[in-house]
Chains A and B, each alone.
Chain A
Amino acid sequence: MAIRDWPIKRKLTAILLLISGLVLVLTSAAFVTYQVVTFRQTMRNNLATRAQILAANSTAALAFANEADAREILAALKADPHMVAAALYGQDGHVVATYPARPPADLLPPTPQPDGYRFEHGYLVGFAPVAQGANQRLGTLYIASDTKAVADALRLSGIIAIVVLAIAMLAAYAMAAALQGRISEPILALAQTATAASTRQDYSVRAPKFGADELGTLTDAFNQMLGRIEEQKKELQQHAMKLEQRVAERTAELERRAVELQAANSELDAFAYSVSHDLRAPLRSIDGFSQVLLEDYGAQLDEAGRDSLQRVRAATQRMATLIDDLLKLARVSRAEMRTERVDLSGMARDVVADIQRTTPDRQVEFAIAPGLEAEGDARLLRVVLDNLLRNGWKYTGKQPQPRVEFTAVDENGDRVFVIKDNGAGFDMKYANKLFGVFQRLHSTAEFEGTGVGLATVRRIINRHGGRIWAEGVVDQGATFYFTL
C-alpha cells in the first residue's frame, strides 16, 4: 500500500516515530562518539599519569642501576590487565628492566622513541622521561596499553545507546499511539459521520466534537452543514408531499369529472341514438306515404300540391340523411377500437376511387403521397379520410382546376397528416367552430352538408389520442392537419 493510502493513524504514528527515531539515533551517535573520544582522552591522560608516577618512582632505580627495583616498580602494572608492556631505558638507551619479564618482541621497542603518547597498531603507547626533579634525565619509561578498554567502552556505549534507543522507541511508539488519537480521532469521527451521512442519506447524524482547535471548527462547520441539509431535505419532503397530495387531489377530481363526463356523454349518445333511431320510423312513414300520395293521387293534385309533396319528400330524405349522420357519430363514440397498422395512402386511394365512381362527371385532381401509415382503427380512420377527402372534393366544386392533396410532415417528432384543397376555404375567425356538431360555414344551397362530418372526424381523432386543426383563407382553400 502506498504511503499516501495509509490510514491517518498509521501516518501520524509513523511520522512521530520517524522524528523521534532520527533524533534518538543522532543523539545516540553523538553520545557514543563523545564517549569514545572522551574515553580515549581519559585513557591517554590516565596512561600519562601512570607513566609519570612510574617514571618518578624509577628515578633512583635508574640513577643507581638497580634492575631489581626497576622490575619491581614496573611489576606494579600487574594490577591492570590492560597494561601489556612496559620498560625502563637507561641514560644510554639500553633496556634496564621490562614488564612482563619477557614481553612480546613487537611490544618492546629496542630503543626509546620520542616522548609522548600515541595510539599505534591497536595499542596506546607512551614514552616518558625519567628525571629527578628538574635535574638531568636519567632514562626513559616506555609503557603500552591495549585498547580493549576503548573497544569495551565503545561496545558498552553502543549497548547502552541501543538499549536506550529501543526503550525510547518503544516509549515513543506508545506515546505516539496514545497521542495520535488526539488528532486522528476527530478526523476519523468526521470521516465516519460523513460516510454515514452519504451512504445512508441520514443527515440526522452529528460528528462528535473533541476540542476547540481547527478540527473542532471543522467539526462544527460540518455539523452545521449537515443540519442545514437535514432542514432542506425536510422542507423538500414536505413540498413533495404537498405536491403529491395536490396532484392526487387533482387527479381524483379529474377522474371524477371524467367519469361524470363519460356518464353524461354516454347518456347523451344513448339519447341521441335512440332519438335518431326512433325518429326514423315516423320519417319512413312520412316519406312512404308522401310517395304513395304522389304516385296514386298525383293526377288529382295541381302543380302546387305536387310541388309541396315533392318538398315534403326532399325534406324527409334530408332529415333521414341527418339522422344517419347522427347515428354514425353516435356509433363512432360507442364502437370498440381495434388498433392495427393502417395503410392510409391505400385507404385514401380507395376513397378517391369511390368518389370518382359515384361522380364521374367531375374532374378533381387528387395527389396522394405514397407510404403513409399509422396505428389506429381501420374502420374509423376510413371515416376520417372519407370525410376530409369528400370535404375537399365538395368545396372545390367552384374551382376551375380543383386539386386535393394528402401528405404528411414531421413536426417536433410527431407525424402530422395534411389534407389540403384549393377550394372555398374559410375565415380563420370561425376556425374554432369548424368541428362543432351542426356548425356550418356555408349554406346548404352553396355546399351540401349536415354539419356532422367534421364533428365525427374530431371525435375519432380524439379517440385515437390525436389532435386535429385547420387553416384556411376564404376562396384560397383549406388545410386540415391531424395527428394520431
Chain B
Amino acid sequence: MAFLTAAALTSALLLVQSPRASEYQVKAVFLFNFAQFVDWRSTPAQDPRAPLIIGILGDDPFGTILDATVRGEHLGERPFEIRRLRQMRDIEACNILFISRSENERVEQILAAVQNRPVLTVSDGDDFAERGGMIQFVNDKNRIRLRINLEAAQAANLAISSKLLRVAEIVSTPKH
C-alpha cells in the first residue's frame, strides 16, 4: 500500500511541475495523514465501514492530486471519499473540511456552522487558526508548517494526537 502511494505521489509530482502544485501535493498528503492523528471515536456509534469524508469548500486547489493521494487508502476499514462542496449545509457530513482560500471572507460563518460538531477544519487561509479554525497550513521557507488551535478541536470533541501537536505550533483564539 505504501508502495502504491509512493508511486501515485511520484506520478503526481511528475504531472504537476509548478511549485504551487508541489505545495498542494504535500498538503494533500498532510490532509490524508491528519486522519491518522485525529480521533473521531467520541462521536456516536457509526458504521465502521462508513467512508471518511474529506470535504473541499470553495475553489479546489488540489485538482486531481487529493483524489490520487487517497485512492485505495483506508483508515482501518474506512475508505476515503473526497467531496467538493457547493452549499454550506453539506459541510456537516464531513470528517475533514478543507476550506479554500476563496472562502477567506466567510470563514467565521463557515466555522460557526460546524461549531461543536466533530468536523476537523483545515485551511491555508491567513490567521485561520486564530480565527477559530483547527489546523492551518503555513508556508515557511518552502516548507509547510502546521498551526493548531487546540481549544477549537477540543470544543468540537476531537482528540488530536499529541504527536501531531509536537510537530505543530499551538495557537488559540484571542479573547476579546
Contact = CB atoms under 8 A, between A and B. Distances in A.
B89 interface: no
B121 to A, nearest CB: 17
Interface in A47-83: 57, 59-61, 63-66, 69
Contacts of B5: 91, 136
B174 interface: no
A133 to B, nearest CB: 7
A60 B26 contact: no
A128 to B, nearest CB: 14
Given A65-B143, A65-B144, A60 B2 contact: no
A69 B6 contact: no
B166 A60 contact: yes
Given A64-B30, A92-B9, A136 B167 contact: no
A60 B9 contact: no
B161 A135 contact: no
Contacts of B76: 134-135
Contact of A60 (B73, B144, B161): B161
Given A60-B161, A64-B30, A135 B2 contact: no
Contact of A64 (B6, B10, B164): B164
Contact of B37 (A63, A65, A137): A63
B65 interface: no
B2 A136 contact: yes
A450 interface: no
Nearest to A137: B2
Contacts, number: 56
A64 B34 CA distance: 9
A59 B76 CA distance: 17
A146 to B, nearest CB: 29
B1 A137 contact: yes
A483 interface: no
Interface centre among B5, B6, B29, B36 (most CB of A within 10 A): B36
Nearest to B146: A64
A407 interface: no
A91 B163 contact: no
Interface residues of B, number: 24
A91 B127 CA distance: 31
Contacts of A28: none
B143 A60 contact: no
Interface of B is mostly: helix
B82 to A, nearest CB: 17
Nearest to B73: A136
Interface in A264-323: none
Nearest to A93: B6
B75 A66 contact: no
Nearest to A139: B2
B75 A135 contact: yes
B36 A63 contact: yes
B167 A135 contact: no
Contacts of A137: 1-2
B36 A64 contact: no
Given A134-B76, A135-B36, A136-B1, A60 B6 contact: no
B37 A92 contact: no
A130 to B, nearest CB: 10
A65 B141 CA distance: 13
Interface in A404-433: none
Given A59-B163, A60-B37, A138-B33, 12 more contacts: A57-B163, A60-B167, A61-B167, A63-B30, A63-B36, A63-B164, A64-B30, A64-B168, A65-B144, A92-B9, A135-B36, A136-B73
Interface of A: 57, 59-61, 63-66, 69, 91-92, 132-138
Interface of B: 1-2, 5-6, 9-10, 26, 29-30, 33, 36-37, 73, 75-76, 143-144, 146, 161, 163-164, 166-168
Nearest first, the 8 A-B pairs at minimum CB distance are: A60-B163, A63-B33, A137-B2, A132-B36, A66-B167, A60-B167, A69-B167, A64-B167
17 contacts: A60-B163, A60-B166, A63-B33, A63-B37, A64-B30, A64-B164, A64-B168, A69-B167, A91-B6, A92-B6, A92-B10, A132-B36, A133-B36, A136-B1, A137-B1, A137-B2, A138-B33
